[in-house]
């Protein structure tokens, strides 16, 4: 995918409201980090009240995944999740506009040696990540340490798409954006020894997935991780991230490559991935993107798990 380019059309009146919003956001993120955390939590509290559909989806997911918790515990977790989502809005802007030096003060990176070793050996890497609310800033912080290519879906608004891509790619000019549908391009990069961020934790439909348990529920799980690893001759390296509770920044952990992956069957691989996902989410459930209908696709004969209004 070509580098983002500014177009004169972005100055037309139809984009003025977005420019005003972006300008206000730029001003806000000049505030100190603790202030942004506070404002983000306040925004999350507002979103909890007004984003009814998103709240119902997240609430249902927590009911399905944490039945052992009481209703009161899940409600507290839901509110914390919305607070984390509110903070993520400003983290996105921080990743776009903060200086590299200022961002670097928030990074606590572990396991970078696994990526460096793979690079020395000329092996491609599938950096297996999850859709945490800290996704944007985590990618920015890691991108300052190592070249990571990313799967990308073009935004409908061309100005927002330009700002987002410009903000993402400035952290490492060697990084590339790969369109999600460009399978050949992704395999080519992996075979050439590149590292690509990839998250297999969402429901992309039953057609390209198989059903294996996640939190004890049959979940449509993409088989692409196995296929990419096999065809791209790549290592699968788990990657986790968390916003630290003490306000000191973010812990980014690159884990050791999965051994024996891909395995004998795609079903076994998908089950292994889901078991890893479940373990990670149990550690920091409040920071995950629960407002996604993860269990929308159902095996034949099984009832839907979300209400129609959702």
Instruction: Note the pLDDT tens digit of each residue in 120-144.
Output: 999 999 999 999 999 999 999 999 9
Q: Which residues, at least 6 apart from 104, have a Cβ–Cβ distance to it below 8 Å?
A: 141, 144
* pTM, 2 dp: 0.93
Answer yes or no: is pLDDT of 1 > 80: no
How many CA atoms are closer than 13 Å to the CA of 158, on its beta-carbon side? 11
Confidence of residue 114 (pLDDT cuts 50, 70, 90): very high
**Residue 263 in contact with residue 269, Cβ under 8 Å?**
yes
Given this model, what pLDDT does residue 173 score? 64
Please, what's the largest Cα pairwise distance for the chain? 57
What's the whole-number average pLDDT of the chain? Answer: 94
pLDDT of residue 5: 85
Cα 127 versus chain centre, distance? 11
At 223-269, the pLDDT tens digits run 999 999 999 999 999 999 999 999 999 999 999 999 999 999 999 99
pLDDT of residue 310: 45
Q: Is 191 exposed, middle or buried (0-12, 13-18, 19+ CB in 10 A)?
A: middle
Tell me the pLDDT band of 176, cut-offs 50, 70 and 90: confident
Q: Which of 28-32, 166-170, 218-222 has the lowest mean pLDDT?
A: 166-170
Q: Is the pLDDT of residue 202 over 80?
A: yes
Please provide the DSSP assignment of 162-181 as one string: HHHHHHHHTT-TT--EEETT
Among the listed ranges 1-5, 41-45, 97-101, which one has the minimum average pLDDT value? Answer: 1-5
Residues 306 and 293 sit within 8 Å (Cβ to Cβ): yes
Could you please report the per-residue DSSP string of 125-149? EEEE---BTTHHHHHHHHHTTS--E
For residue 151, what pLDDT is reported? 80
Does position 175 have pLDDT exceeding 90, yes or no?
no
> Regarding predicted confidence, which is higher, 81 or 2?
81
Can you tell me the mean pLDDT for 66-78?
98
- Residue ranges of alpha helices (H) inside the chain are 16-28, 33-50, 52-65, 71-97, 100-104, 112-120, 135-143, 158-169, 183-191, 224-231, 266-283
* Mean per-residue pLDDT, 41-56: 97
pLDDT for res 309: 62
Q: How confident is the model at residue 100 (pLDDT cuts 50, 70, 90)?
A: very high
Give the burial class of 41: count Cβ atoms within 10 A of its Cβ; 0-12 exposed, 13-18 middle, 19 or more buried.
middle
Question: Are 40 and 90 a contacting pair, CB within 8 Å?
Answer: yes
Q: Which of 30-44, 69-83, 159-173, 262-276 has the lowest mean pLDDT?
A: 159-173
Average pLDDT for residues 146-164, to the nearest whole number? 87
């Amino acid at each position: 995918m070509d580098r983002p380019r500014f177009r004169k059309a972005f100055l037309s009146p139809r984009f003025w409201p977005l420019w005003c919003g972006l300008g206000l956001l730029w001003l806000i993120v000049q505030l100190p980090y603790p202030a942004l955390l506070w404002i983000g939590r306040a925004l999350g509290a507002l979103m909890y009240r007004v984003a009814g559909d998103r709240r119902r989806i997240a609430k249902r997911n927590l009911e399905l995944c944490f039945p052992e918790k009481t209703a009161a515990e899940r409600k507290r977790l839901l509110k914390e999740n919305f607070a984390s989502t509110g903070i993520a809005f400003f983290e996105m802007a921080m990743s776009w506009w903060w200086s590299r030096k200022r961002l670097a003060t928030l990074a606590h990176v572990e396991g970078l040696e696994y990526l460096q070793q793979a690079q020395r050996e000329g092996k491609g890497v599938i950096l297996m990540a999850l859709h945490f609310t800290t996704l944007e800033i985590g990618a920015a912080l890691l991108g300052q340490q190592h070249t990571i290519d990313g799967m990308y879906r073009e935004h409908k608004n061309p100005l927002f798409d330009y700002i987002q891509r410009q903000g993402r790619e400035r952290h490492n000019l060697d990084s590339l954006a790969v369109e999600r549908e460009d399978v050949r391009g992704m395999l080519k990069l992996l075979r050439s020894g590149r590292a690509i961020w990839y998250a297999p934790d969402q429901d992309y439909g039953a057609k390209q997935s198989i059903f294996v348990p996640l939190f004890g529920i049959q979940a449509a799980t993409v088989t692409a991780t196995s296929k990419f690893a096999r065809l791209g001759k790549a290592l699968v390296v788990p990657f986790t991230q968390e916003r630290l509770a003490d306000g000191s920044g973010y812990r980014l952990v690159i884990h050791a490559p999965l051994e024996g992956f891909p395995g004998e069957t795609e079903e076994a691989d998908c089950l292994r991935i889901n078991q890893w996902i479940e373990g990670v989410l149990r550690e920091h459930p409040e920071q995950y993107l629960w407002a996604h209908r993860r269990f929308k696709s159902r095996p034949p004969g099984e009832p839907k798990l979300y209400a129609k209004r959702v």
